[in-house]
Structure 1
């Protein structure tokens, strides 16, 4: 809910590049596991859910609370990350470039990327945004629960042994806490243009 997905899609449109939301891969695995009635605590069962993985980006269940929770839990398993790594790297390395968004793009998936943005926002702001998104889909949620879930996910992702959540050393930090969607996109475009001008 920092806005990284919205910003990434806007950048992809602006630069006419293909876009991948890598988080959807983990959510797709989580959704498959959930529908199977599988155990997120079982690394083996989670890995089985990676087989023949299809992603339907418009499936509303991909962004449901239970699937988000499972995705965060299974993303700490090294075999899961390894199983999805090549798919993401192949996408990033395609001719002409690409835009990827996720929590380990600049550090693990594409450490040689020409431009890296680390998009963040205060947990309270992200919780309010996520709550509004959930309610707009006709689902029920409470602010306190959403905030607790975001903080727990941040702790999990920041402390995991494999691909912990952290900015790459050369990443540009963009805090969207006090920005509207349009302002965040405009700022991101400006930052990317500046970095491209320097690197080229």
Structure 2
């Protein structure tokens, strides 16, 4: 692997971004940046403070004054919010159902883009995941992926994930949430979800975790062998 490289993984909810990014980072010996955790951390802070989630200016100011740290090995990420470990709290349902308020706020996104770029500069080689990584945050990334899967498959995955955390929702309810999330992500005014022009699109509907990681690692290896990586982080 080159001295420094940036691999972005964007995609729809439930497509396997987080799992694939963690596995690929471990395979490559790179850092793993879960940008969704950053939005969740800010959402948690806003909820705990009783902030108005419709007040874009206040949310952007809060984001600018907040310290978010992501530490740990891929698959064992620890998230600290202003020095407090919130790794478990950011996965609560109340955070999941309200994070779109922060994600759609342009001022918040601008702040987090700069934080994400700063983290990448410090990390060197990095595998970063989200919904705007290849299009906005790292437009010159060395390798870009866009993951997707059938909504029905993503709903089943999400349902199992919730059950593992002790949360139970019907398949119909989860599927409806997936469809609505897709609509919000793709139509929001600030950095809507879309594949980067140079992204490799991967349908993960019928893939196991190992198959996903193998497929992505193979493509990264091919690009690295071709000498296409930059020598400096963005």
- Settle same-fold status: TM greater than 0.5: yes
Match of 2:28 in 1: 15
Q: When you count strand as a share of all residues, which structure comes out higher?
A: 2
- Equivalent residues, number: 200
Instruction: From 125, 133, 152, give the equivalent of 2:180.
Output: 152
Q: Can you give the 5+ residue segments of structure 1 that lack an aligned partner in the other structure? A: none
Q: When you count helix as a share of all residues, which structure comes out higher?
A: 1
> RCO higher in 1 or 2 (8 Å CA, sep ≥ 6)?
2
Instruction: From 45, 51, 54, give the equivalent of 2:68.
Output: 54
Mapped partners of 2:52, 2:157: distance in 1: 29
Mapped partners of 1:77, 1:107: distance in 2: 17
Once the two structures are superposed, what CA deviation does each residue of 1:73-123 show, in whole Å capped at 9, x if it has no partner? 221111010111111112233463211111000000101010011111111
Offset of residue 10 of structure 1:
1.3
Please give the TM-score of this superposition, normalised by the length of structure 1.
0.91
Are 1:170 and 2:198 matched, yes or no? yes
Mapped partners of 1:60, 1:146: distance in 2: 21
Q: Can you give the 5+ residue segments of structure 2 that lack an aligned partner in the other structure? A: 1-13, 70-77, 80-85, 229-234
Offset of residue 152 of structure 1:
1.3
Name the Cα RMSD after superposition. Answer: 1.8
> Kindly tell me: are residues 39 and 95 of structure 1, through their superposed partners in 2, closer, same or farther at Cα, counting changes over 3 Å?
closer
Mapped partners of 1:29, 1:156: distance in 2: 19
Instruction: From 106, 109, 128, give the equivalent of 2:137.
Output: 109
Please give the TM-score of this superposition, normalised by the length of structure 2.
0.79
Asked if structure 2 preserves the Cα contact closer than 8 Å seen for 1:115 and 1:196, the reply is no
